[in-house]
Amino acid sequence: MGPIDERAGLTPTLPQSNPTSSYWQDPLHQIANHRTTRELPKSVSTIIIGSGITGASIAYNVLGKSDTSSVLMLEARTSCSGATGRNGGHTKAASYRAFLDNVQDQGEEEAAKIARFEYKNIKAVHAFVREHKIDCDSWEGDTVDIIYDTSQWNRAEKAISAMRKILGEEDPAAQYKFHSASETAEKFLIEGAMGSVSYEAGSINAYKFVIGILELALTRGLNLQTETPALTISRSSGGTSRWTVETPKGSIGAERVIMATNGYTAFLYPPVKGIIVPLRGTVAAQRPGTSMPKEGLRTTYSFIYGNGYEYMIFRPPGSAFAGDLVIGGCSTKAPKEGLYEWGTTDDTAMDPDIGQYVRDSAAGYFGSHWGEDDPDGRIRKQWTGIMGYSSQGFPLVGMAPGEENLWMAASFQGSGMVLCFLTAKALVTMMDGEDDEEMNDWFPRAFRMSEGRLKYKFHGRLHEKAPMDLELKASSETQLETDKQTIRS
C-alpha cells in the first residue's frame, strides 16, 4: 500500500464545528442559522443532506416539480458553510485540460458531451442569477490560462485542436484563443510564460448565489435545519418510511434520502471510502499591489506549471471590495506534493507551506506590475475548504447500487461551479423516473453512479499533472487497467 492509498483509505469525519473563516461568509447571511421548524418532523418524503450548491439546487428542483412533496434539508453547520461557501468563485470549465484523457477513456462522443455539459452549466448558473435577480456579484467575461510548462503548452495545442475537430469549429464549448509569450506579457501583465490560452468564463459569489437558491426553495416549502448533522442513514425496520436518518436532535423517516455531501460522503455511505476522497484546498483574498491597474483586471486567471496550478478571480466593479484578488490552488506546494492534504476533512487548519505560497503567488506572478503591497496589507482573509475527488475523475450521480431510494450527487473534483447546478437537475430527473434518451443527450454517462464505479481504486487527482510526468501516469494507467480487468471478470 502506497502513501496515497493510506490517505485515500481514511474515514471522513463530520464537518468540523469551528472552520477557518471564509471571506464569502463574512458576514453570515440571515438564514445562516435557519431552522424552519422548532422540532424535527417525524417523517418526510425527501431528506437532502447538505446545503451547498448541489443540495440547494436539488431542493429547488424537487419542490418545483411537486407541491405535495415534503422536503427536509439537514446541514451540519450553517447554511452553505462547506466547499461552495469556501471556493474561489470561478465559473470556469477549462474543458481542454481533460479532453484528451476523456477521449481516450470515454470516447469522442462522451468527451464532447462532457465539454458541452460544463459550458452549458456555466451559462445556466449565470442565466439563473439574471432570471431570479440574485445579488451575488455575477460576472461574465474571459479567462486566461498562463502556461509555464512546455509539455502543458504542447498538450493544450493538441487538445484544443481535437476539440475543434470533434465538437466543430463553431461550437461555443470549443472557442479558445492562443497568445504568444510577448502578447501574454503585454495584454495580461505576466512575463516569463510559454504563452497563454483565453476563453469564456465568469465569476460569482457562490455563497450568496446558493443562499439565493435556498431562499427560493424556502418559499416553495423547504424545511431547512442548520446545525443538525446527519449521523447515520439506515433502512427503516417498519412503517411507511424506507429510510431513517439519525441526528443529535432525533431521527427522521423518509421515502428517499439524497446525499449532497461531496468530500464527506463516505462518513454516511462507507462503500465510497477510497472512491470519493476528500482534499483540503486553500484560498486567499488579497488586496492588489499599488502598481496593478487602477481600473482592475479584465480577466480571471489560472497559472499552470508542471505539477499543478493556481486559479484567480478579481472582484468585479460594484461588489464589496471590488478589485480584490481571490486566489487558490497550490496544493502541490506542501511537502510530498501535498500528500497530507488528501484524506483530511479538517478545514479548521491550514498547511503552513501552502498558506505561505498562496499569500505570495499573485505578487510573484505579476512581478514588477504588482508594485508595493497595499498600505492596509496584502491579505484580507485566508481560509480552507474540503473538496471531493473520485477515482475516475468524475462525479458520482444516481442511486446507490442495490439501495432503493438512497441517492447521491457528490465528488465534483474541485469544479462544483462547473458541474453541480445541472447535475442537480439531472438527479431529480432520475428520481422522478424521467431518465430517458433526451437526458442522455446532455448528461454525461461517465457521471452516473454504478456498482462498477465502486471497484475503481483511487490514484490521485486526475488531469492536474503534466502528462510528461510519465512515471506517475504509467503507474496509474497500469493500475487502472488492472481495475478494469477486475471489474470485467
pLDDT tens digit string along 16-61?
999 999 999 999 999 999 999 999 999 999 999 999 999 999 999 9
pLDDT computed for residue 67 by the predictor:
64
pLDDT computed for residue 307 by the predictor:
86
pLDDT over 50 at 486, yes or no:
no
The pLDDT mean for the chain works out to 93
Cell of 196: 497563454
User: What does pTM read for this prediction?
Assistant: 0.94
Instruction: Tell me the average pLDDT across 88-116.
Output: 97
pLDDT over 90 at 471, yes or no:
no
pLDDT: is 358 or 479 the higher one? 358
Q: Which of 25-39, 57-71, 271-285, 360-374 has the lowest mean pLDDT?
A: 57-71
User: Could you tell me how far CA 87 lies from the centroid of its own chain?
Assistant: 8
Give the largest CA-CA distance in the chain.
70
Instruction: Tell me the average pLDDT across 181-194.
Output: 98
**Whole-angstrom Cα distance, residue 97 to residue 308?**
12
pLDDT band at residue 2 under the 50/70/90 scheme? confident
Instruction: Tell me the average pLDDT across 81-101.
Output: 97
pLDDT: is 68 or 330 the higher one? 330
pLDDT computed for residue 285 by the predictor:
98
**Whole-angstrom Cα distance, residue 225 to residue 241?**
20
**Whole-angstrom Cα distance, residue 253 to residue 242?**
7
**Whole-angstrom Cα distance, residue 353 to residue 338?**
9
pLDDT over 50 at 485, yes or no:
no
Q: Which of 78-82, 90-94, 247-251, 458-462 has the lowest mean pLDDT?
A: 458-462
Percent of the chain at pLDDT above 90?
87
Instruction: Tell me the average pLDDT across 255-283.
Output: 97
222: helix, strand or coil: coil
Cell of 37: 421548524
Q: Where are the beta strands (DSSP E) in 6-150?
A: 43-49, 71-74, 90-91, 139-147
pLDDT computed for residue 159 by the predictor:
98
**Whole-angstrom Cα distance, residue 283 to residue 89?**
10
pLDDT over 70 at 427, yes or no:
yes
pLDDT computed for residue 65 by the predictor:
84
pLDDT computed for residue 335 by the predictor:
86
109: helix, strand or coil: helix
For residue 227, give the nearest of 14, 388, 13 by alpha carbon: 14
How crowded is residue 127: how many other Cβ atoms within 10 Å of its Cβ?
Answer: 13
Instruction: Tell me the average pLDDT across 230-244.
Output: 89
